[in-house]
Amino acid sequence: MKYSRLKVRSATTSDLSSIMNIIDGSMLQLDLKIVQSRISSEEVLVAESPTSILGILVSTGNTIETIAVRSKRRHQGIGSILVKTAAKKSDEPLVAEFDQTSLQFYQKLGFSITPTIEGRYTGSYQLLD
């Protein structure tokens, strides 16, 4: 990780506007009410520097719904830290469905990947002790 002062924590409702800005900035489609619900059930992680939220991971159970990192902060290990933190919190392997644009990210993390329908993939990931 390139950020020694990066902290990952569960999101709170006060983080909602920053979370939605990151989701919108990444051109992802995730409804505000879904994000609010996931925050309430402690299924949203945020990666923050001392001054701002840099990335988010939204899940439901052990399924990753979305990972997003501020565009100027990508390729710095933030998404990887979010996934590893989520994996530590889960009793089951993490599961994600994604497209070709995210394939390299999931491969680099070590997900077991299976092609599904045209241009889509599913992957699973578990931290090994």
Query: Is residue 16 packed enough to be buried (19+ CB in 10 Å), middle (13-18) or exposed (0-12)?
Result: middle
Report the predicted TM-score, pTM, of the whole model to 2 decimal places.
Answer: 0.91
pLDDT tens, residue by residue, 62-107: 999 999 999 999 989 999 999 999 999 998 999 999 999 999 999 9
Q: Residue 126: in which H helix or E strand, if any? A: none
Neighbours of 76 (CB within 10 A): 17
DSSP string, 8-44: EEE--GGGHHHHHHHHHHTT----HHHHHHHHHTT-E
Give me the domains of the chain, ranges plus CATH numbers: 7-125 (3.40.630.30)
- Give mean pLDDT, residues 7-11: 97
